[in-house]
Amino acid sequence: MKKLIRIILMILIAVGLFFGVQQLLMPKYKSEILEGSMIAEYYQEDVKDHDVMFISDCEVYENFSPITLWEDYGITSYIRGSAQQLIWQSYYLLEDTLKYEKPKIFVFDVLGMQYGEPQSESYNRMSLDGMRWSSVKINAIKASMLPDEQMITYLFPLLRYHSRWNELTMEDLKYIFVRDTRTFNGYLMQAGVKPVTNVPSGRVLSDYQFDDICYEYLDKMIALCKENDIIPVLVKAPSLYPYWYEEWDKQMTDYANENQLLYINFLDVAEETGIDYTTDTYDMGLHLNVYGAEKLSAYFGKILQDTYGLTDHREDSNYQDIWQEKVDAYYAEKARLIALEEAKQ
Tell me whether the omega of the peptide bond preceding residue 242 falls within 30 degrees of 0, making it cis.
Answer: yes
Q: Candidates 152, 223, 329, 340: give the one binding other proteins (CB under 8 A).
A: 152
Give burial (CB, 10 Å; 0-12/13-18/19+) of 269.
Answer: middle
Smallest gap from Cβ 165 to other proteins, in A, equals 5
Stretch that binds other proteins, among 53-61, 90-98, 162-170, 201-209 (CB under 8 A): 162-170
For other proteins, the closer of residues 44 and 166 by Cβ is 166
Residues recorded for the chain: 345
**14 lines the binding site for other proteins (CB under 8 A):** yes
Instruction: Quote the least distance from Cβ 128 to other proteins, whole Å.
Output: 15
The region of 29-37, 67-75, 159-167, 204-212 touching other proteins under the rule CB under 8 A is 159-167
Provide the CB-side half-sphere exposure for 224 (13 A, CA).
21
Residue from 139, 153, 181, 259 binding other proteins (CB under 8 A): 153
Alpha carbon distance 309, 104 (integer Å) = 11
CB of 152 to other proteins, least distance (A): 5
Of the two residues 17 and 339, which places its CB atom closer to other proteins in the complex?
A: 17
User: Distances in Å between the alpha carbon of 332 and those of 36, 185, 283?
Assistant: 23, 15, 23
Q: Which is nearer to other proteins, 168 or 205 (CB)?
A: 168
Closest approach, Cβ 144 to other proteins, in A, equals 15
Q: Which residues are registered as beta bridge partners of 235? A: 109, 264
CB atoms within 10 A of CB 33: 13
The answer to whether 42 and 29 are in contact (CB under 8 A) is no
Q: How far is the CB of 142 from other proteins (least distance, A)?
A: 16
Among 150, 169, 257, 318, binds other proteins (CB under 8 A): 150
159: contact with other proteins by CB under 8 A: yes
Decide: is 201 part of the binding site for other proteins (CB under 8 A). Answer: no
H helical segments located in 107-183: 121-128, 135-144, 151-155, 158-161, 170-174
DSSP state of 205: P
**Minimum distance from CB of 198 to other proteins (Å)?**
37
Query: How far is Cα 51 from Cα 282, in angstroms, rounded to an integer?
Result: 29
Q: Does 19 bind other proteins (CB under 8 A)?
A: no
Q: Is 142 in the site for other proteins (CB under 8 A)?
A: no
User: What DSSP assignment string belongs to 37-53?
Assistant: GHHHHGGG-S----SEE
Which spans of this chain sit near other proteins (rule: CB under 8 A)?
6, 10, 13-14, 17-18, 21, 25, 121, 150, 152-153, 158-160, 162-163, 165-166
